[in-house]
Structure 1
Amino acid sequence: MAQYRKYFTLENLVKYGYFEIKSKSNNLNQDDPYSQSSVIFQEVFDMEMLSQQSRDIIKLCPSIHTGGKASPTVPVELSIYKNDEERRMYKMPNIYSYIRLGLHIEENKEIYLEIIKNSSHSLSKYFYEKTFVSNKIEKETNRMGYRYIFKTDIQHFYPSIYTHSLPWVLVGKTEAKRTRTDKGKYYNQLDTLIQDCQYGETHGIPTGTMASRIVAEIFMCKIDSELSQYGYKRYVDDFELPYNDSKEQVEFYNCLQKILGQYNLVIKKEKNIIDTYPFEVDNSSEYFFSYFSNLKGDESSRLVRAKVHRYIEQALIFQKKGLKGAPKLVFKGLASAINKEEIPVNVINQPILSKLLNIVIMTPSTGAYMIDFFKNKNIDINETEINNNLTKHKKLIVKNVKRFTNLNYNQELFSLLGILYYYKTENFLESDLLLEIIKLEDDFSAVLAMELFYNNYRDEITSLFVCIDEKLERTKTWNEEYWLFKYQFFIKIETDNEFRKYWKDYLFTHKNEEDLERAQFFNKKNLNKVDSYLLRNKQQQGKDSAIFQFFEILLDKGITFLK
């Protein structure tokens, strides 16, 4: 299990794990259709600065280690696309709570690695160490000699895990209840830390980070140990049992339901499937990586581009038929073909660019793949051409931004804003719309809207500060909501001299009720009396001095989460 240890280090959990970004250092086949970028664009938000300085910060803030002491914080909740009928909620923990959880995982890694190692059923325990193809081969090997396979999964898996059931599954319900007040026990600490990530909530574990994924995998590997007599394979909460006798399937199903019931989990019965040999095989993803392999090198650019158009159109048909990953695979397949010199570097012209951009407009979560695609040095197109194409479709993009804002579709909204921010678009969204987005609960969209406003509407800067002041009045400690937006606002004051000047001018002009001279007004003693939540000193220490100290250290070190 040596290769898994990196997933249990604090640096990895922060740098790659908070936004669930796949490390490029992993030795994986880059054509793996199931390798994923983060929901949050890594070219817009990232945790590298924090990861690099995490050990120094912990030394300066040693109370972050405090055993089982509760310190609940409000997560950033994001509405994420699941399918056309359903949304799922991501909970991005306050980074203070996340680092505490990461430290716990690192400090107890030997216990947790042993649990994971002992599961012979899990395919998901490999995290990013095995490719989709490798897992597929292992699953097919497990099916050999069997006429039937039974598939099932757990209903609302992450939101249904009761945090108190973590100690139950780790050491047994009897022992867990006997020692439930012992905050020195690692399993009770885990229970508390998960609760802290979601403001004391005991139902569910926060979806969206690598730490949560590790906790969920540990949980399920312990479930595997209670089902060791059955020859199934599992990926997260999806089970597949090969069998020949229906009695085997019934016995497994009844046992699975009984064990899950002990932890307040239930099977999603409408997803139960029985397949008969020869089993259905979905090879549609292979289409994206072999489509251009038969092209002849002497074909004209016109014919190659015609084939690219057909490739994109067929991909969208796959999406309509249920292959949810088809839009992102369009970009990965094209990048693969260009890197393998199956198609020329100048194949992407403006009509194809428009077609690719339309995929992003209709499925904004693919924006990260578009950014990665056009960063490829082998692709003969520059950012000016992309910016011009975005401008060409400005009316449609603005319409969708307004729609996503009204529907509270967070993922779609911050994805489009991320593209506009990354490509440095000018005067794309009206100032009033950006101010409306800043008022939202979604910190990621609010941060990007603040940046876009500042970059495009300096002459309306007063409106920006008024809006932010009103928003921050609702959050007076670092445990509370808007922690990410609040932090990025304060760090911008610390690191952007021009922004700091605008901020000081605003305070002096609009908050100087005693009509003091500038030097007198900005005297530290006077600033403590100024009625504005744009001032960092308005953040109260609250019940937990460690979290206050933690964020003060981050601000003093100039650490930002925005590229």
Structure 2
Amino acid sequence: MDDREDKMKKIYKSEFDYYKEIFSWKNAIEKGYYDFPNYSTSDWDGIYSTVNYLPEKYFNFNQLLGKPELFNKIENYFANVILPSFNATSLEKLENSLEKSPNAHKLGDFNKYLEFTHPIIFKIPKTKDTRRILKCPNFYAYCMLLFIIDQYKTRIIKMLEKDHHAISNNFNYLPSSYSINQRIQDSILIGHSKFFKTDFTNFYPTFYTHVISWLICNKKKAKRKDSWEKINFGNLMDKAVEREQDGETHGVPTGNLLTRIVIETIMSKFDLELEDELRKRCHKVSFYRYVDDFYFAYNDPRDIIEIKQIMDSLTSKYDFTLNGSKTMETTYLKISSGSRLVDYFSNLNLDNELEPKDIANVLNTYYMIANKEISNGIKGADKLVFVSLKRYLERLLRDNQKNGQKNNLLQSMLDALLYTDSYRRYPFLDNIIQYPFIMKLFQMVLDNAQVAMKFVELIKTIKKCEVKMNDNFRNLKKMQFFFNRKPFKELIFNKLIQYIHQRKNQETIAILTVFLELNIKLSHDQIIRCFKAFSDCEKDGYDEYDDFSILMVLHYFLHQNKCISAKYGSGIFDSWVIHYLFELVSEDRNMLKTNDYMAGKHWLLKYQLFYYYKYDPIFNKRVHKYIASWYKIQHQLGNKNPKLINFCDLNHVHVVKNNNRTIDQFYLELLGKKFSFTTL
């Protein structure tokens, strides 16, 4: 029994129970849709894996979990709608019955429930010059895939349990951890003298969805017409993933748990084929896989030729492409190397009486070490800069509460983060602006937006420490002062507009999240500029802008009405914003592959506009004032029969209860229960 299994035994009765909990509707929705990490706060798990690309504080399913009746309705929605149509109690039983009766239902009969849906496109930095595209599926389509996975979970779990080479099939969920994965890695590598690593080129973006059925059902069998027309496990998962992305067969929706479950399920089959070929053709070769990264350990130099040939053959068979730039022989030292930033401050044993100025020097040294590690490509260093500091503050706070007295070191650490020196001997230098250490960390966010949520978590920890120490948010106010300085705020806001025009979604979210966390306000002029930039992006003919960024700016519109600018009165301000909102959600129905309004682009923005219009009387009033003003202007211009669709009103966009379309009906039920997808 390996370390992973041993640790799970202490908490779960079996590995099956462990996976069953991960695959549950509650977890797959609550944590899975945005793939929020599920780590212990006392360990260093997750530093080297995924990071939040969205602020969990604003985008979550807390409201859904707080409405158990609605949650149960969603969980049972697909079973109640789909299974009775086939007179079946489960998809597995339906599949088995159709095997014996080949002239019965075909996959086409199921496709009417597998609607074409448009995902939210969200681009994040991959390298300095390239972007990685995340596809956030329509929530209906995500739940449909979850329904299929839930129906076949026993089969999926058995496949995962058989794969002893994958260290990513624990999905980063406790009790599995980075440290346990390291031990599994060591058990595979130690004892060998030669090592080889490789991965696939652009694995998620280029993944061919039909490979799902090829690997699950056997490629030759899956490609036969009588096979790909059948309702079975492989075909259903293939089609469900396709429909999450408007029928695209290349690429998969990334950034959610279900996609990782699908990938790990089919890659478990790949691992078994690879294991079988290595056993036949090589001497003793060990390997492990983390998603699409493969590491091989061997002793006989002749084995490297066979390893490469086997990988070439299997990747060609399943339409994968090996990444030539990352395919190389390596060493155990390089594979297992780590960062000096882990527990950096704890290892220094700082004196409790140190002054903020002294700690500021320690922080600057820390910053130089971090920069060097990031430049040298040390894995996880960019995240550890924030996490190591955050966890040290949390440790000092725990010590402070445990001892029941004020911890001088904690206070000095907080002060050092916002410390600026004075030029006492040279007062003529006082006009030079000094930025404290925390602003250097913000610069790291501007350089690499993927660490933005780590920076925000650090800010939250500073707030928490100041609350517990009754410090009246002294350092938080200093931070707000630096961000609110007119030249700096204008500089960062102009970067925000630049990011929107460049379609840099992650960078846009990063600045908006920091602004909201620090309560940095936007003027009416700035809010309108943001909406104009979003609208301009749509007119350029490229992908629409992401709903998350738009909703974060909409938050300012909904909650900052008292801030009237010199340029725009409240009425003009409302008109411009609502005008741009209507532009964003309008679309030509003839371009849709489905009649469902909620299946198209901006599904999340559309839903939230319905929600605010229905349950926020102030927003409702502002929309009506805009519409009345629009008609008045049209009549003044001589237009006899003007028509304006109110995109905030369900009836105006033909989302009605009697339309026989499952997606619109699904969202109507959510709306009727006062469910909101965001806490903004």
Which range moved further: 170-179 or 53-62? 53-62
Give me the TM-score of the superposition, normalised by structure 1. 0.90
Which range moved further: 464-473 or 235-244? 464-473
What's 1:523 paired with? none
What's 1:214 paired with? 261
In 2, the alpha carbon distance for the partners of 1:260 and 1:147 equals: 26
For residues 102-121 of structure 1, what are the structure 2 equivalents within 5 Å? 102-121=146-165
What's 2:130 paired with? 86
The match for 1:403 among 490, 498, 501 is: 498
The 3-state SS of whatever aligns with 1:88 is: strand
Alignment of 1:348 onto 2:404: no
What's 1:388 paired with? 481
Residue by residue over 1:256-308, the C-alpha shift from the partner in whole angstroms, topping out at 9 and shown as x without a partner, is 221121111121122112124x6325644242323442223333332122202
For residues 6-85 of structure 1, what are the structure 2 equivalents within 5 Å? 6-23=21-38, 29-30=43-44, 33-34=47-48, 36-51=50-65, 52=67, 53-59=70-76, 62-63=80-81, 67-69=110-112, 70-85=114-129
The match for 2:325 among 257, 270, 288 is: 270
Counterpart code for 1:254? Q
The 3-state SS of whatever aligns with 1:100 is: helix
The match for 1:447 among 538, 547, 551 is: 551
Query: Equivalent pairs: percent with the same residue?
Result: 25
Which range moved further: 212-221 or 532-541? 532-541
The match for 1:545 among 648, 654, 661 is: 661
CA contact (8 A) 2:116 2:243 kept: yes
Higher relative contact order (CA 8 A, sep 6+): 1
Following superposition, the deviation at residue 502 of structure 1 comes to 1.4
In 2, the alpha carbon distance for the partners of 1:54 and 1:335 equals: 35
CA contact (8 A) 1:434 1:453 kept: no
Alignment of 1:3 onto 2:18: yes
In 2, the alpha carbon distance for the partners of 1:300 and 1:468 equals: 52
Alignment of 1:308 onto 2:401: no
Following superposition, the deviation at residue 201 of structure 1 comes to 0.7
Following superposition, the deviation at residue 499 of structure 1 comes to 1.5
Q: How many residues align?
A: 549
The 3-state SS of whatever aligns with 1:113 is: helix
CA contact (8 A) 2:501 2:533 kept: no
CA contact (8 A) 1:44 1:418 kept: no
Cα 1:328–1:396 change in 2 (3 A) is farther
What's 1:280 paired with? 334
Cα 1:323–1:37 change in 2 (3 A) is same
Cα 1:357–1:159 change in 2 (3 A) is closer
CA contact (8 A) 1:146 1:242 kept: yes
Runs of 4+ deviating beyond 6 Å = 512-515
Following superposition, the deviation at residue 237 of structure 1 comes to 0.5
In 2, the alpha carbon distance for the partners of 1:27 and 1:214 equals: 24
What's 2:522 paired with? 427
CA contact (8 A) 1:437 1:446 kept: no
In 2, the alpha carbon distance for the partners of 1:503 and 1:548 equals: 22
In 1, the alpha carbon distance for the partners of 2:353 and 2:558 equals: 50
The match for 1:464 among 555, 569, 577 is: 577
In 1, the alpha carbon distance for the partners of 2:666 and 2:387 equals: 40
CA contact (8 A) 2:135 2:253 kept: yes
What's 2:273 paired with? 226
Residue by residue over 1:410-438, the C-alpha shift from the partner in whole angstroms, topping out at 9 and shown as x without a partner, is 11112212222343322357133212244
What's 1:99 paired with? 143
Residue by residue over 1:313-357, the C-alpha shift from the partner in whole angstroms, topping out at 9 and shown as x without a partner, is 321222222236333212210122122329524423322332232
What's 1:329 paired with? 384
In 2, the alpha carbon distance for the partners of 1:414 and 1:406 equals: 13
Following superposition, the deviation at residue 31 of structure 1 comes to 5.7
The 3-state SS of whatever aligns with 1:559 is: coil
Following superposition, the deviation at residue 139 of structure 1 comes to 1.4
Cα 1:365–1:511 change in 2 (3 A) is farther
Alignment of 1:503 onto 2:623: yes
What's 2:454 paired with? 369
Structure 1: runs of 5+ lacking an equivalent: 516-528
The 3-state SS of whatever aligns with 2:347 is: coil
Cα 1:269–1:301 change in 2 (3 A) is same
In 2, the alpha carbon distance for the partners of 1:337 and 1:133 equals: 19
